[in-house]
Structure formats: C-alpha cells, structure tokens
Amino acid sequence: MWESLLIAAAFGGLGIIMTALGYKLFDLIETKIDFAAEIKNGNIAAAIVIGAFLMGICFIIGRTVGS
C-alpha cells in the first residue's frame, strides 16, 4: 500500500513539475503578450487562454505518465 502511495505521489510531483515547465516554455515562446500582467489587470480572456493551455498540458502529461 505504501509503495502505491509513494509511486502515485512521485508521478503527481512529476506531473506538476512538467506542467510548470510547459507553462514557462509557453511563456517564453509567446513574447507578444505578458499573460501574468494581463491576468493581474483583470483580463479574463487571458486567464481563460492560460487555463485552457494548462488543461491541455495536464491532459497530455496525464496520458503520458499514466500509461
């Protein structure tokens, strides 16, 4: 049981790290818009774009790590 929990925690941590790296890579590639500043200014459209991007990255990572 503890082994399964440890493996699940390791894959969860790996997924979080990969998601953060994916966001940073996207932020480096997309130089026209500063998404963090736009979200701080209350731009809901920018928040939706980032949310959709993160959901897509998490789905891809989950399918890759989980298989």
Tokens for 67, please give them. 């298989």
Q: How many residues are listed for the chain in this entry?
A: 67
Can you give the pLDDT at residue 58?
84
Q: How many CB atoms lie within 10 A of CB 27?
A: 15
Quickly state the pLDDT bin for 67 (edges 50, 70, 90). Answer: low
Quick: pLDDT tens for 19-46.
889 888 888 887 788 888 999 999 999 9
CA distance 66 to 43: 34
* Token pair 């969860």 in the structure block, residue: 12
Tokens for 50, please give them. 């980032």
Quickly state the pLDDT bin for 14 (edges 50, 70, 90). Answer: confident
Tokens for 34, please give them. 């500063």
